[in-house]
A and B are shown apart, each in its own frame.
Chain A
């Protein structure tokens, strides 16, 4: 009977659904999340018709529509790398933009973001004078290029009219009568040529305005029916007039005494008789006209102003919105430009971003919606806030669009306090019961294929699942799936995100001025209850390191090193001080002879450096000079050169295109590899290997030969070198174990190619089974004692253009390695290492691989690398402007965590060898319980029946 039971259990277990390759519909978003951003906003317009929408264009070249209700991204278009929008105009159902330095006029559908029409408005030669865009009424836009103004219908891009102007390239301003003003500044003069264009393109030239002594070339202008203002190019004086001669006056005389007038600019607006002047010390609302040209209506110190706009009502009062940051909260006021009286005023204590120096974060720009009391605030740290009726509507952390460095750290260990906190945040009993009942309803509906649950109920179930999901717990888990992402942004912020859903845990703003350049681990305690510490390096004129508690976001210490560091080295071994692993960093000055500054510069740090010094070296690559140098430290600790190589001499047309090194701390499972015939091949494992690719840059002329060398960074010795004829940059490379893989452009094949090199130890085999079975093999390898090497290399065609390569890393290095291709489209493709193996057998078509070839389990050679949909780690998402990926091994060997960052953030879990060491999440636990219970019941019943039968037999 026992055998029957076991067999039945086996049959039932085998019948259970196994792990599958693809993910199910309800698994989408379970392990991954995507956060989409636009970056630092530089142009914005708030539209109220046909629907309230917020259209923004960012410095990163993204154009997006945001919902004013919650700030969610409704649609987004991202330009090619390096391109950005210079003008943005919303007219009815169209968003019209100028991009590509003013060459490209594009119209987008305001509702969907679809491109409707495009026009090339300027060629390179015409761009010198600048291109300007203005609305002509509500149905057309006018573009001024050189001395010509062209008008296009917004609906279909039809060219309506062309007008020529005297006086060169013009700036355009919408006029109240539905036409435009065109103002041009002939170079080298103090004249302002002004023309009025009617809605149908009729030009009426106005008399030129002469500035009394002011130099107007390159000046910023504000033109309206009632007046003209021009801010001289050096920002020192303002010339203004009410349609007569321009009267100039110095800015210092205009604004209150003692206010800094640096960085003066005229904020573009739509009032005819008023202008807004923004200076470093505050914002001034000006009235144009009068004897002095302009007079100040109101000056608000430390404020950032929006452009002048017309308010609601028949009188259409000219209004200006002003935002003043302070540590108590942002103060937003709307003042009348006519008399300076305050129309609306509010303080927002909930919106008080602060720098680590306790100063308030400044406001970079303010955009106001005409007639709705809504203001969009762009802070200096790139964050974007919408203020509606004097209250904060939402805040978007746009600084996350410029992540420059990522560090994975552990979350705090579970403690009674944080567990209680988590439980308190969970839904109550009534809510739980209701959610369970709804879940049953939804599942029953799915089984019966009926819509039993309403969409609201489904959403409620989803909300409940999202809130109660274990992945959001604020503490670490034994499998290492829940971690914390500490990221550094280009705006100088250090932010911590939870890997569960990317929620912000804490943030520190060091400000743009602090050139925060790198994050690193500082102290990793041995006790799980203690907090992990990270360090953020600011390597400017004098280097500083901010030590941050990674669990609370508190700055524990700031270390200053009075040296300008050229290199920052991380010592390979952390120092142990009894309670924690202390990571030691060395700041190395440029050149030779200098002494490194240690962080921490304590006895422990110095001892760690002294221990590491004899075997420590580092390398510097100078792409401009085409050299690569290896350096070390003398006994006194001074930097000395050990070796150098000129790989791309100046004038050769060749450059160092890529230098790749091993990721520090890479774990290797085994140094040997089993071939198909059972023989062993020993990998040449040298973490000091450098890959240097030298060749013509992309589009470069000259000899199209790409030379790739593998160097030993300790000795400078060339381990392997090969050349590709007819190949050029860009080159992206990655090194892992004994393999180097690189991606380049083959100008000969007009295709992207990938090549791999694997290095093996070719010394005669001396190892025996008895050595391994009974002996202790304690091997060391030195760069000064390189064994004879055997290299295998192969080149493949690759269909994906990439912006970078990376490689997966697991805890023990046993999980299959996958090379990660970061594509230009913003996806991450996982390419199994076996496809890049130089040993892929060449099997003639129609033949089968030999048993030995089959035993090696390598796919047969094919010229082109495979491309398969399920191997995209980014699933169906795109991380626009993908810059890099960070991979961290979880505590389970099978799993690793990945964050791709660019304009967006994408996080997911990777399991290259599938989840071999864990039960899948969709494992039917209920079925298992059912089987166990029924088997137990059957055992009890059968033994009862058996004893009854025996009794009967004996008493017969």
Chain B
């Protein structure tokens, strides 16, 4: 039995605009129960856990392949769809790489090797980025050609000046 608590409303709640939960309301209770695997993993042997990690490192391969396929399908012309696919093709692997620490947390006991799976994970996503860069190049958006630098070229400074008479009627 839950203890009887006095009903209070915190008006000066730092959360500001957020609506305070009614007393006794547990948002977690409304959600479904988690998979509960966190507790089970610890019970698995070390090799199994290592294998699981490795599998987790290769898991995005399908996702990256799918992204690449979508990028390839969207064509190399400049359209809204191809631009959006290419942008997501860069953004998704990049954010996955940046968040790889959360995906492969260091083992507090030091038994698991998380570095190699993490690097593998990053490499798989880098493949996706590479494909996206190749795609951008295919779209002609990389300044790899002289013509992309035309506006930054300055006309040469002229060393001599030949002027005409102002009195001459043009």
Instruction: Give residues 111-170 of B contacting A (CB, 8 Å).
Output: 143-168, 170
Q: Is A31 an interface residue (CB 8 A)?
A: no
- Min distance, Cβ A852 to any Cβ of chain B, angstroms: 13
Q: Is A671 an interface residue (CB 8 A)?
A: yes
Say yes or no: A678 contacts B158, CB within 8 Å: no
Say yes or no: B21 contacts A769, CB within 8 Å: no
Say yes or no: B161 contacts A612, CB within 8 Å: yes
- Min distance, Cβ B16 to any Cβ of chain A, angstroms: 11
Residues of B close to A569: CB separation below 8 A: 163, 165-166
Most buried by B among A517, A539, A672: A672
Say yes or no: B156 contacts A620, CB within 8 Å: no
Say yes or no: B160 contacts A619, CB within 8 Å: no
- Min distance, Cβ B115 to any Cβ of chain A, angstroms: 36
Q: Which residue of A lies closest to B157 (CB)?
A: A780
Say yes or no: A617 contacts B154, CB within 8 Å: no
- Min distance, Cβ A31 to any Cβ of chain B, angstroms: 26
Question: Are A685 and B155 CB-contacts (below 8 A) given A617-B162, A947-B19?
Answer: yes
Instruction: Give per-residue flags for A665-676: 1 if the beta carbon is below 8 A from chain B beta carbons, else 0.
Output: 000111111100
Complex: A954 Cα to B21 Cα, angstroms: 7
> Which residue of A674, A773, A781 is within 8 Å of B158 (Cβ)?
A781
Complex: A690 Cα to B163 Cα, angstroms: 10
Say yes or no: A769 contacts B163, CB within 8 Å: no
Say yes or no: A618 contacts B19, CB within 8 Å: no
Q: Is A258 an interface residue (CB 8 A)?
A: no
Q: Is B38 an interface residue (CB 8 A)?
A: no
Residues of B close to A781: CB separation below 8 A: 156-159
Q: Which residue of B lies closest to A672 (CB)?
A: B150
Q: Is A884 an interface residue (CB 8 A)?
A: yes
Q: Is A879 an interface residue (CB 8 A)?
A: no
- Min distance, Cβ A688 to any Cβ of chain B, angstroms: 4
Instruction: Give per-residue flags for B20-33: 1 if the beta carbon is below 8 A from chain A beta carbons, else 0.
Output: 01100100000000
- Min distance, Cβ A952 to any Cβ of chain B, angstroms: 10
Say yes or no: B156 contacts A661, CB within 8 Å: no
> Which residue of B147, B156, B163 is within 8 Å of A685 (Cβ)?
B156
Q: Is B1 an interface residue (CB 8 A)?
A: no
Residues of A close to B73: CB separation below 8 A: none
Complex: A616 Cα to B161 Cα, angstroms: 5
Residues of A close to B170: CB separation below 8 A: 660, 804, 884
Say yes or no: A769 contacts B156, CB within 8 Å: no
Q: Is B17 an interface residue (CB 8 A)?
A: yes
Residues of B close to A517: CB separation below 8 A: 167
Q: Is A925 an interface residue (CB 8 A)?
A: no
Complex: A585 Cα to B163 Cα, angstroms: 11
Q: Is A937 an interface residue (CB 8 A)?
A: no
Q: Which residue of B lies closest to A677 (CB)?
A: B147
Q: Which residue of B lies closest to A689 (CB)?
A: B162
Residues of B close to A537: CB separation below 8 A: 166
Instruction: Give residues 791-807 of A contacting B (CB, 8 Å).
Output: 804
> Which residue of A565, A617, A685, A955 is within 8 Å of B160 (Cβ)?
A617
Complex: A712 Cα to B158 Cα, angstroms: 13
Complex: A567 Cα to B154 Cα, angstroms: 33
Say yes or no: B152 contacts A572, CB within 8 Å: no
Q: Is A729 an interface residue (CB 8 A)?
A: no
> Which residue of A567, A571, A780 is within 8 Å of B156 (Cβ)?
A780
Question: Are A567 and B151 CB-contacts (below 8 A) given A678-B145, A688-B160, A769-B144?
Answer: no
Residues of A close to B145: CB separation below 8 A: 678, 769
- Min distance, Cβ B3 to any Cβ of chain A, angstroms: 22
Residues of A close to B150: CB separation below 8 A: 670, 672-674, 680
> Which residue of B147, B160, B164 is within 8 Å of A782 (Cβ)?
B160
Residues of B close to A668: CB separation below 8 A: 155
Complex: A678 Cα to B149 Cα, angstroms: 11
Q: Is A424 an interface residue (CB 8 A)?
A: no
Question: Are A671 and B153 CB-contacts (below 8 A) given A570-B166, A678-B145, A678-B147?
Answer: yes
Say yes or no: B159 contacts A782, CB within 8 Å: yes
Instruction: Give per-residue flags for B79-109: 1 if the beta carbon is below 8 A from chain A beta carbons, else 0.
Output: 0000000000000000000000000000000
Q: Is A81 an interface residue (CB 8 A)?
A: no
Most buried by A among B19, B143, B163: B163
Say yes or no: B155 contacts A674, CB within 8 Å: no
> Which residue of A539, A679, A772, A951 is within 8 Å of B153 (Cβ)?
A772
Say yes or no: A518 contacts B166, CB within 8 Å: yes
Q: Is A602 an interface residue (CB 8 A)?
A: no
Say yes or no: B161 contacts A615, CB within 8 Å: yes
Question: Are A568 and B165 CB-contacts (below 8 A) given A669-B151, A777-B153?
Answer: yes
Instruction: Give residues 682-696 of A contacting B (CB, 8 Å).
Output: 685-688, 690
Say yes or no: B155 contacts A671, CB within 8 Å: yes
Q: Is A664 an interface residue (CB 8 A)?
A: yes
- Min distance, Cβ B80 to any Cβ of chain A, angstroms: 12
Complex: A613 Cα to B144 Cα, angstroms: 43
Residues of B close to A804: CB separation below 8 A: 170
Q: Which residue of B lies closest to A772 (CB)?
A: B149
Question: Are A714 and B160 CB-contacts (below 8 A) given A517-B167, A518-B167, A772-B153?
Answer: yes
Say yes or no: B158 contacts A688, CB within 8 Å: yes
Question: Are A772 and B164 CB-contacts (below 8 A) given A688-B158, A950-B19?
Answer: no
Residues of A close to B144: CB separation below 8 A: 769
Residues of B close to A520: CB separation below 8 A: 166
Q: Is A107 an interface residue (CB 8 A)?
A: no
Q: Is A783 an interface residue (CB 8 A)?
A: yes
Complex: A930 Cα to B153 Cα, angstroms: 44
Complex: A570 Cα to B156 Cα, angstroms: 22
Complex: A955 Cα to B23 Cα, angstroms: 10
Complex: A485 Cα to B153 Cα, angstroms: 34
- Min distance, Cβ A592 to any Cβ of chain B, angstroms: 15
- Min distance, Cβ B25 to any Cβ of chain A, angstroms: 6
Complex: A630 Cα to B156 Cα, angstroms: 23
Residues of A close to B155: CB separation below 8 A: 668, 670-671, 685
Complex: A769 Cα to B153 Cα, angstroms: 11
Instruction: Give per-residue flags for A904-934: 1 if the beta carbon is below 8 A from chain B beta carbons, else 0.
Output: 0000000000000000000000000000000
- Min distance, Cβ A803 to any Cβ of chain B, angstroms: 12
Complex: A569 Cα to B152 Cα, angstroms: 33
Most buried by A among B22, B146, B152, B161: B161
- Min distance, Cβ B98 to any Cβ of chain A, angstroms: 23
Say yes or no: A618 contacts B165, CB within 8 Å: yes
Complex: A780 Cα to B155 Cα, angstroms: 8
Instruction: Give residues 536-587 of A contacting B (CB, 8 Å).
Output: 537, 539, 565-572, 585
Complex: A670 Cα to B152 Cα, angstroms: 8
Say yes or no: A954 contacts B166, CB within 8 Å: no
Q: Is A767 an interface residue (CB 8 A)?
A: yes
Say yes or no: B143 contacts A769, CB within 8 Å: yes
Complex: A804 Cα to B149 Cα, angstroms: 36
Complex: A661 Cα to B161 Cα, angstroms: 12
Say yes or no: A618 contacts B164, CB within 8 Å: yes
Complex: A685 Cα to B21 Cα, angstroms: 75
Residues of A close to B19: CB separation below 8 A: 947, 950-951, 954
Residues of B close to A772: CB separation below 8 A: 146, 149, 152-153
Q: Which residue of B lies closest to A767 (CB)?
A: B146
Residues of B close to A678: CB separation below 8 A: 145, 147
Residues of A close to B164: CB separation below 8 A: 618-619, 661, 713
Instruction: Give residues 1-26 of B contacting A (CB, 8 Å).
Output: 17, 19, 21-22, 25
Q: Is A749 an interface residue (CB 8 A)?
A: no
Instruction: Give residues 612-657 of A contacting B (CB, 8 Å).
Output: 612, 615-621, 630
- Min distance, Cβ A102 to any Cβ of chain B, angstroms: 30
User: What are 24 A-B interface contacts by the 8 Å CB criterion?
Assistant: A567-B165, A567-B166, A615-B160, A617-B162, A660-B170, A670-B151, A674-B150, A678-B147, A680-B146, A687-B158, A687-B161, A688-B160, A688-B161, A712-B162, A713-B164, A769-B145, A769-B146, A772-B149, A777-B153, A777-B154, A779-B154, A781-B156, A782-B160, A884-B170
4 interchain residue pairs of minimum CB distance? A713-B162, A567-B165, A779-B156, A781-B156
- Further 9 A-B residue pairs, CB within 8 A, beyond A779-B154, A780-B156: A517-B167, A518-B167, A537-B166, A568-B167, A569-B163, A617-B163, A673-B150, A678-B145, A780-B158
